Amino acid sequence: MKPMRTLLVTVTVASLFGSAPHLNVRHSPDGRWLLYQTNPGGAGSIGADGMPLWARRVSGGRPILVERSVLGWPDFVQRCGNGFVVSAGGDRYVSARNHVDVVRPPTWSPVNVSHDARYSWFSAACSPDGKWIAATRTVNLEEGRFDSADRSIWLLAVNGSARRQLARTPGASDEAPHWSSDGRYVTYYRHATHVNARVFVYKVDVHNGRRFGPLATLQDGLGYYGHQTFRELPLLGKTIAVDPGHNGANWAHPAQINRPVDAGGFRKACDTTGTSTNDGYSEATYTFDVATRLARILRREGARVVLTRTSNEGIGPCIDERAAIGNRAHADAAISIHADGGPPQGGGFDVIYKPNVPESRRLALAVREAFATVTDEPYSNYLGRDGLQARTDLGGLNLSVVPKVLIETANMRNAGDARRLESAAYRERVALALARGLETFLR
Ligand code: ZN
């Protein structure tokens, strides 16, 4: 993952104005003034600690102290009309006692337009016509986490004469307003008020209050005060077929399950019941749980995921259909999840690929590497070699025209393997390992 955008532009013009670095330098709209911040305390975190805001004529002269404490984020000082709108007062806790001021040359005296000190106001954005400010409002609260408070978006008249709520979602936070260039809409982020909640983008029509969305979804969690740290979703645009081996009701329907189907040039049973641990935890239940976890992870990373079954109460599908599901989806990769019923002394995992299909082998190598690293499960000591095996007798692999592997993640008949895979925390690790392998292959 790589950062896609630098949120804070820091310009140092120390050479022009002496030794103190000048941060976040902006020209006034008329070009005659510079607005900048300094960091007298030398805080290492200029995004979280308030810093003074200064104005100074480009032609020279003494600097004017405009505000004592403004956070260093770009949207805490924004152009507005012939001046700026400033989210001021926040010192470490933007959610406590922050207010919105309009400042203008030549005096730069702050005019408070948020008025209501019972709330904290920030992320103030000025409409293109310079008449309205959209700002985030939150209760005065020194919150432990940055993304946990109930927030709403308000419109404040720049001349201080009016104020109205623009967006509020009960039980969620609406924040970080931005205007469309025609001044008609304000886009904003909405997320549930818990850490790492998924973030959605909405917009609201400023004139009639109509809301639209979600227009987009961002990665999980919001950083400082609505400041998203963007990253590329590594699996965006990729389709992955996930096949949880067997099915929960296969054992009760032997006729259907034993029915021969095409397995790639020969016929083989539609499916089998799968194995189980000695205390009765079934392979079908296990593979379905891992597949569900895997799908969640892959979708979070931007992938489209197709599952060969979406419950553990059914029968099948047959192996030919499991392959067909991945083929029809034009999957970029497919994985079939199993656990073996091997000899009790046997243990470890094994990744099975199609011989003479380089992409299948490359996927197998990526999955093997990630699986060993993330789960610490050793290579199988009774299947394949070094955790790998090429097989031609598996219909689900033979019939696949997309890169596919089958993994025997453990031996359910081995006491140590069984104990691990009966733990939900371990199954999550298995899912993470498979996701990591797929991601490596698809990168
Ligand atoms: Zn199996």
Q: What is the CATH number of the domain that holds 132?
A: 2.120.10.30
Find the 283 Cα to ligand 1 centroid distance in Å: 7
Res 3: pLDDT: 39
408 noted as active-site residue: yes
| Mean of per-residue pLDDT scores for the chain | 89
Same domain, 168 and 199: yes
Find the 336 Cα to ligand 1 centroid distance in Å: 9
Res 146: pLDDT: 55
Residue 15 pLDDT grade (very low, low, confident, very high; cuts 50, 70, 90)? very low
Same domain, 248 and 381: yes
**Residue numbers of the domain that contains 435:** 239-442
Q: Which of 67, 175, 301, 408 is catalytic?
A: 408
Res 11: pLDDT: 46
Tokens 């596919």 belong to 404
Same domain, 149 and 244: no
d(CA 152, CA 89) in angstroms, rounded, equals 19
Res 227: pLDDT: 64
Q: Please say which residue of 226, 255, 287 terminates a domain.
A: 226
Statement: residue 432 has pLDDT above 50? yes
pLDDT tens, position by position, 232-245:
678 888 999 999 99
Find the 258 Cα to ligand 1 centroid distance in Å: 15
Statement: residue 47 has pLDDT above 80? no
| Among 329, 250, 317, 252, residue whose Cα is nearest residue 285 | 250
d(CA 203, CA 6) in angstroms, rounded, equals 24
What distance separates the 2 farthest-apart alpha carbons in the chain? 92
Same domain, 189 and 331: no
Q: Please say which residue of 199, 226, 253 terminates a domain.
A: 226
Res 218: pLDDT: 75
Res 9: pLDDT: 44
Classify each residue of 191-215 as buried b or exposed e, where b means 16 or more C-beta atoms within 10 Å of its C-beta: bbbeeebebbbbbbebeeeebeeee
Whether 57 is covered by a domain: the verdict is yes
pLDDT tens, position by position, 343-358:
999 999 999 999 999 9
Same domain, 161 and 243: no
Whether 353 is covered by a domain: the verdict is yes
Same domain, 259 and 221: no
Residue 313 φ then ψ, to 5° = -110, 0
Same domain, 165 and 51: yes
Whether 232 is covered by a domain: the verdict is no
Find the 441 Cα to ligand 1 centroid distance in Å: 23
Same domain, 300 and 189: no
Whether 222 is covered by a domain: the verdict is yes
Whether 234 is covered by a domain: the verdict is no
Whether 233 is covered by a domain: the verdict is no
Q: How many domains does the chain have?
A: 2
pLDDT tens, position by position, 62-90:
999 999 988 888 889 999 999 999 999 86
Find the 396 Cα to ligand 1 centroid distance in Å: 11
Res 8: pLDDT: 43
Number of helical (H) and strand (E) elements in the chain, helices listed first: 8, 24
Whether 231 is covered by a domain: the verdict is no
Q: Can you list the pairs that 91-95 forms with residues at least 24 positions away whose Cβ atoms lie under 8 Å?
A: 91/49, 91/50, 92/48, 92/49, 92/50, 93/120, 93/141, 93/142, 93/143, 94/120, 94/122, 94/224, 94/225, 95/120, 95/122, 95/138, 95/139, 95/140, 95/141, 95/142, 95/143, 95/149, 95/225
Q: Please say which residue of 164, 192, 226 terminates a domain.
A: 226
User: Which pTM was predicted?
Assistant: 0.58
| DSSP, residue by residue, 135-180 | EEEEES---SSTT-S-EEEEEEETTSS-EEEEE--TTEEEEEEEE-
Find the 442 Cα to ligand 1 centroid distance in Å: 25
Same domain, 206 and 110: yes
Same domain, 72 and 157: yes
Same domain, 144 and 255: no
User: Which neighbouring-strand residues pair with 152?
Assistant: 137
Res 96: pLDDT: 74
Whether 431 is covered by a domain: the verdict is yes
Residue 145 pLDDT grade (very low, low, confident, very high; cuts 50, 70, 90)? low
CATH number of 420's domain: 3.40.630.40
